Amino acid sequence: MEEKHKKILQRNRTNLVRDLDPSKLCDGLLEKGVFTQDMIDEIKSSGTRRDQARQLVRDLETRGSRAFPLFLQCLQETGQHSLAEILQNGAPTAQLQPATPTQPVRPVVQPLPVSSPMDVDKQSKDAVPVYPLQRPSTTPTPSPEKENIRTRAQGRTRRDSIQSKLSNRKGSNIDCDKLERRFQALNFIVEVKTNLKQRQIKHELSALSKKDHSQYDCCVVIMLSHGTDVRHNRFPGAVYGVDGQHVPVQNITNYLNGQHCPSLQGKPKLFFIQACGGGEKDTGFEVSPDEVEPSIGGADDQTDAIPMSSSSDSLSMSDEPDARVTLPTPSDILVSYSTFPGYVSWRDTQSGSWYVETMDRVLEENAATEDLVRMLMMVNQEVSQNSAKGLYKQMPGSFNFLRKLLYFQTQK
């Protein structure tokens, strides 16, 4: 998009967030080639109408030179004339009419990656919920010190290509096996998905949100992957697909919130994120010997860190949310992180990650008598005693929006 058109969108961000109706625009923007279906799905899963408006304008700024006039045309076609007039007054040269047949001008659209049929997971035909658990790639890749992600300096990460070198997460298969057995023992129906690309992660979550969960009491999603820090207005952090493109944690939770997954309304939705929250390494602070019981990690401890990335966001986050007449959208959601936002998460190549190993043991020993929040505090306490290479620390934590105490069913 031309810089002058970006500035027009930025100057009118308050009006756009307040008045724009993205649901009316999606079909038109898709038909005109301004957005891809993947981008439309991301907009729809962004949260409230205002959140969707923010995401739509963010994406619009990353598109080609005809994105702005085509956006104005869609506004006119959907009856949003006042917004179109406001934007057009600031852009007198914008063309609302499509290009003439004799000189066709195609919108600049970055294509999705071309994948073989083997890359696309088939949906099961039954009504059993899918609970993704991420296993590591088996392809040898450079050590964490040589990882790099090349992204665009501004705007959306390229969808057509990205150079990434994600290290093999040795020990992650151990985590996955432990969690599969543990949640089966807690009477969950478990399905494992491995080595998913960003697009496939979002596809699986979208499919999960569309299933009928009326016969179930709870839904759990566990992500085992590399991670990073991203700009956010709800839940921090993001997890990577094997293609080096990330999915923000707040987008992951949005798929199953009360607005987008009606059959899980009022039911606990638990998210466990075993991934780095950033690249900082915590050396801790000195306390008296009585405060801790030192536990030294293994010599092969590794991190799941990826360099920090961000997305452009020129829209104000301070405007008031839409009025709600139901339960709050994020109600009954708990997100448990293996580490504090911004910091690395440690993983032993032989026994798995500190977080998963500890959580598995705590659940085994206490699930019959303790509620989830208390058990997560036990996990926090135990992991905080560990030290990687005799120096580095890790502090798990959670964002708890549950409305009641949650006890697992331990008997068949």
213 is catalytic: no
Coil, strand or helix at 228? strand
Read off the pLDDT of residues 265-305 as tens digits, 9 standing for 90 and up: 999 999 999 887 655 655 555 555 555 555 545 545 555 54
Q: Which of 27, 269, 294 is nearest to 129 (CA)?
A: 269
The whole-model pTM stands at 0.54
Between these two residues, 12 and 169, which has the higher pLDDT value? 12
Instruction: Read off φ and ψ for residue 127, nearest 5 degrees.
Output: -100, 20
DSSP 121-158: PPPPSSSPPP---PPPP-S----GGG--B---SSSSPP
- Band of residue 400 on the pLDDT scale cut at 50, 70, 90: very high
The pair of three-digit structure tokens given for residue 136, joined into one six-digit string: 């590591």
**Known catalytic residue at 276:** yes
> Which of 335, 342, 347 shows the shortest CA–CA distance to 397?
335
Q: Choose the catalytic residue: 26, 176, 219, 276.
A: 276
Catalytically annotated residue among 5, 226, 232, 246? 226
pLDDT at 20 over 80: yes
pLDDT at 180 over 50: yes
Report how far residue 364's alpha carbon sits from residue 359's, in angstroms, rounded to the nearest whole number: 8
Q: 128-149+157-400 has which CATH code?
A: 3.40.50.1460
Q: Where in the chain is the domain with CATH 1.10.533.10?
A: 3-89
pLDDT in tens, 308-366: 333 333 333 333 344 434 566 778 999 999 887 767 777 677 777 889 999 999 999 99
Q: Token digits for 121?
A: 């997971």
Nearest CA to 80 among 32, 20, 23?
20
Q: In 365-395, which positions are buried (b, 16+ CB within 10 angstroms) versus exposed (e)?
A: ebbeebebeebbebbbebbbbbbbeeebbbe
Burial of 75 (0-12, 13-18, 19+ CB in 10 A): buried
- Look up the CATH architecture of domain 3-89: Orthogonal Bundle (1.10)
Distance in angstroms (rounded) separating the CA atoms of residues 206 and 149? 26
Q: Is 77 exposed, middle or buried (0-12, 13-18, 19+ CB in 10 A)?
A: middle
Q: Indicate the SS3 state at residue 42.
A: helix
Summarize the confidence of residues 14-26 as an average pLDDT. 89
